[in-house]
A and B are shown apart, each in its own frame.
Chain A
Amino acid sequence: MSDDGARHEAVRATADGPPAIVLRDVDRRWGRERVLRGVSLEVAAGRIVALRGRNGSGKTTLLRLLATRLRPSSGRGAIFGHDLVREGAAVRRRIAYQSVQSGSYGALTARENLALAATLTGAPHARIDDALRRVGLGSHAGRLVRVFSSGMKRRLGLARLLLADADLWLLDEPYASLDEDGRELVDDLLAEARHDGRTVLIASHEPERLIGRVDAALEMEQGVLRAAPLTAPVPVEAPVEATA
């Protein structure tokens, strides 16, 4: 239950298919602060869902919780039927998480970073060079990542996504730091994810760019999750009602 006095109904991003993500009344606290408030969510497999909201609204916390980096303070959740807390290892086998940071080791080369990721995810090392070429880093494969620009580091993160054959992508601001070419690459990856039947939850401050690329949108406002229209940001004073 939330402090708002009423239990939030599940925000159902899509209506059909087995659920990729299920959250029920999830709260997350940092000390006394409630960063997530009674979040309930159900996302069917194979759908691409935008998550938007102001800075500090709880988007990253929600993504980190789904990536098993944070435990819910209360409530429960599951990814493809695997409990987020009790079956974290099984959850991590189905997801790929790209945080707002690059997630790469500066003292390793781009290829070494991907080789490490391939070993740890069980992905074939034969995909590494293809992934690097795909994100435009083919000619930088042997360079140390610490000399990369932030945009190049973001591209390396996208290459890591391509390596792992994950069923659910959790993307936190994937367009950040990228030039137009890089942003189009993200658009292409979303299109491919749709084609391949992956589920994607994508936090972004660019709702206009996601129009036509996502199936549904969610709005996070002060830790409360609500359904949102696909066309424009939701006014803070008139949030769209959650749909069950």
Chain B
Amino acid sequence: MNDLAALLSITAKDLRSEARSRAATVATVFFSSVTLVVLAFALGRDADLMTRAAPGALWVALAFSGVISAAQAYQSDLVDGAFEQLLTLPVPRAAVFLGKLLANWLTMTLLGAVLLPVSSVLFDAPIGAGVGLLLLTIALGTLGFAVIATFYAALTANLQARESLLPVLMFPVVVPVLLASVRATDAIVTGGDTGLATDWIQLLAGFDLVYLVVTSTIFHIVVEE
């Protein structure tokens, strides 16, 4: 069996399941939209303040929506013992993890790509010239977030209090990714400082690499009882 084919088939399964149930999509789009609108409304008339707040608002919306999405990540697997069955098949544990991670990442990146122009309009934050770097920041920031979210969602999947435990466990670990993402976005949107943004993006890529290697290496410990 080809491990890449296994990985991609798990991703396709998760995306197809979500496309049919829309359970996470509806919740995340609704929640992130409300977050952005409320923050924009609260900051109201101060145009300069709104522009400076835009990067933080974007990542707050993405982060909290990401938690909602992550909490749903293993729900379809737990019904009828499907995840149990999956783990008895001759598939490397890392392929299972990376397959689910890829589905989560694609979902979050798509959400980020949608929220970017929305937050630009709501917060009057220009993105024209730096759109490429902004999309790269979103891709790397959501990757780091999705790595941690997918890992901790597996860790808490069988717990009754998983929805309250998941953010408590994952946010301390994911803070470096969020800070680097906000700083990179801020450098692009408010300062137009490409050099500073690139520094933060490189740091973000470093976080992603470390998180990815560590979590995919130890995932088997999480799922074997």
What total count of A-B pairs have CB within 8 Å? 91
From A85, which residue of chain B is reached at the shortest CB distance? B224
Q: Are A120 and B84 in contact (CB under 8 A)?
A: no
From B87, which residue of chain A is reached at the shortest CB distance? A69
Q: Enumerate chain A residues within 8 angstroms of B77, measured Cβ to Cβ.
A: 105
Known: A67-B88, A69-B88. A120 touches B1 (CB 8 A): yes
Least CB distance, A147 to chain B, in whole angstroms: 12
Q: Are A108 and B16 in contact (CB under 8 A)?
A: yes
Which of B5-13, B105-113, B190-198 is near enough to bind chain A?
B5-13
Q: Enumerate chain A residues within 8 angstroms of B5, measured Cβ to Cβ.
A: 119
Q: A74–B6 Cα gap in the complex (Å)?
A: 32
Q: A51–B85 Cα gap in the complex (Å)?
A: 20
Q: Which of B16, B89, B224 contacts A117 (CB 8 A)?
A: B89
Q: A117–B87 Cα gap in the complex (Å)?
A: 11
From A164, which residue of chain B is reached at the shortest CB distance? B89
Q: A68–B86 Cα gap in the complex (Å)?
A: 12
Q: How large is the interface on A (under 10, 10 to 19, 20 to 34, 35 or more residues)?
A: 20 to 34
A240 on the B face (CB < 8 A): no
A36 on the B face (CB < 8 A): no
Q: Enumerate chain A residues within 8 angstroms of B80, measured Cβ to Cβ.
A: 101-106, 153
Known: A103-B82, A104-B82. A89 touches B88 (CB 8 A): no
Q: Are B90 and A122 in contact (CB under 8 A)?
A: yes
Chain B contact residues: helix, strand, loop or mixed: helix
Q: Enumerate chain A residues within 8 angstroms of B86, measured Cβ to Cβ.
A: 103, 120
Q: A103–B81 Cα gap in the complex (Å)?
A: 5
Least CB distance, A51 to chain B, in whole angstroms: 17
Q: A144–B17 Cα gap in the complex (Å)?
A: 11
**In the complex, how many residues of chain B place their beta carbon closer than 8 angstroms to a beta carbon of chain A?**
27
Known: A101-B80, A121-B89, A122-B90. A116 touches B9 (CB 8 A): yes
Q: A160–B84 Cα gap in the complex (Å)?
A: 14
Q: Are A103 and B84 in contact (CB under 8 A)?
A: yes
B158 on the A face (CB < 8 A): no
The residues in A between 38 and 71 inclusive whose CB is less than 8 angstroms from any CB of B are 64, 67-71
Q: Which of A95, A97, A107, A115 contacts B76 (CB 8 A)?
A: A107
Name 21 A/B residue pairs within 8 A (Cβ), A-sorted. Answer: A64-B84, A69-B88, A70-B224, A70-B225, A71-B224, A88-B224, A99-B84, A101-B81, A101-B85, A102-B82, A103-B85, A105-B13, A105-B82, A106-B80, A107-B17, A108-B13, A112-B16, A116-B13, A119-B6, A121-B1, A122-B1
Q: List B residues at the A interface (Cβ < 8 Å).
A: 1, 5-6, 9-10, 13, 16-17, 20-21, 76-77, 79-82, 84-92, 224-225
6 more A-B residue pairs beyond the given contacts A120-B90, A120-B91, with a C-beta to C-beta distance below 8 A: A71-B224, A92-B90, A95-B88, A105-B79, A116-B9, A120-B6
